[in-house]
Amino acid sequence: MINQFKTLNPINILLLFAYTFFMRISILINPPVRLNFEFIEPYAKFLIQIPIGDNFSVITNILMAGILVFIQAIIFNRIVNNHTLLAKPSFLPALLYITGASLFDPFLILSPVLISNFMLILIMDKLLKIGKSPNAIMIMFDIGLFIAVGTLIYFPFVMMLLLIWLSLLLYRSFNWREWVSGLVGFLTIIFFLAVFYYWNDNLGMFYKIWLPLKNKFPSMFKIRYNDYLVLVPVGITMVLASIQLRENFFRSFISTRKAFQMLFFMFLIAILSVYTKSNFKLYHFLLCVPPGAVLLAYYFSNATKRWFYESLFVILVLTIQFFLFV
């Protein structure tokens, strides 16, 4: 299967669409009785009136989630290929994105994180451009806007502001205008939110929105290890990818090296931002899928022993399906 997606054959788009729903077959066969879902954070409902998930049937919810993941995968694939992060253009990024977005049951339904991943993919595209641009002020401003919109959908997304400044450290010499422009873009959206709260005599509630930033990072996690055994083949593949990346690191273009460092920071921030959500849900880690999928695609793009990488991918898919059914 991997060999099939190592090319840009247009038929692969149809195969990807079928694969998206194949990875959701478990939840389609045994759908939950009821799903509680809201498109945006409660504090943003004053601005945007979007019907909550209860207006959708369970099957409609699952099918819409699958379609959104497929669209994201195609956009993501185009971005990775345009920035030449892999050995050659292929459909591997889309394949691994869909695979990563199917790891756990909460990943298979509509969630605020799934929707905010559109913003994360666009941010990734913008950040990969700043090293090639003579002036990054407007790019950083746009990224700030995207982060603000993502924050309205899912609050922990606000931590991606750190990614702006880490990326500037990687890609560019210091320019205070570029460092400030991302924050200005973010505050532009937040300013309108604050004004709306002020007009409605509710400025105290606006202040409460930001209180989760003061949360302490949890010192203990209650982990049911059986639920995470599905990550074993993913972890093995990521280790192999890291070894492959290390071997090629100094033979790669400087822009490619910096791109993978930026994606590592994105992955790390996505994990650590969990502390801002007191009622943590597993779907939070969908934010890790875009940067993680690039690393997985890098391994399969560079792997040479077909019997090994095909077997590894089959084991990965079968493991995901087993744990989704069980």
Written as tens digits, the pLDDT of the chain (326 aa) is: 788 888 888 899 999 999 999 999 988 888 777 776 666 776 776 655 555 545 667 888 889 999 999 999 999 999 999 988 888 889 999 999 999 999 988 888 888 899 999 999 999 999 998 878 888 889 999 999 999 999 988 889 999 999 999 999 888 888 889 899 999 999 998 888 888 888 877 777 778 788 777 777 665 556 566 667 888 888 888 888 888 887 776 655 667 788 888 999 999 999 888 888 777 778 888 999 999 999 999 988 888 888 888 998 999 999 998 888 87
Domain coverage including residue 288: 2-212+223-325
Q: What is the pLDDT of residue 227?
A: 66
Is 206 contained in some domain?
yes
> Residue 173 has which token pair?
């010499």
Neighbours of 136 (CB within 10 A): 25
Examine residue 218 and state whether it is found in any structural domain, yes or no.
no
Q: Which of 90, 96, 127 is nearest to 255 (CA)?
A: 127
Please answer whether residues 181 and 133 qualify as being in contact, where contact means their C-beta atoms are separated by less than 8 angstroms: no
Classified as helix, coil or strand, 87 is: coil
Binning the chain into helix, strand and coil, the percentages to the nearest 5 are 75, 0, 25
Q: Is residue 40 part of a domain?
A: yes
pLDDT in tens, 18-42: 999 999 998 888 877 777 666 677 6
In angstroms, the CA 122 to CA 126 distance is 6
Taking the CA atoms of residue 93, residue 99, residue 104 and residue 106 in that order, the dihedral angle to the nearest 10 degrees is 60
Instruction: Return the pLDDT at 68.
Output: 95
Write out the two tokens for 9. 């054959």
In a domain, 249, yes or no: yes
Report whether 76 contacts 97 (CB < 8 A): yes
Q: Could you tell me if residue 217 is inside a domain?
A: no
Query: Is 61 inside any structural domain?
Result: yes
Q: What is the pLDDT of residue 119?
A: 94
| Number of domains within the chain | 1
Residue count of the chain: 326
CA distances from 13 to 28, 66, 84, 85, 236 (A): 22, 14, 20, 20, 27
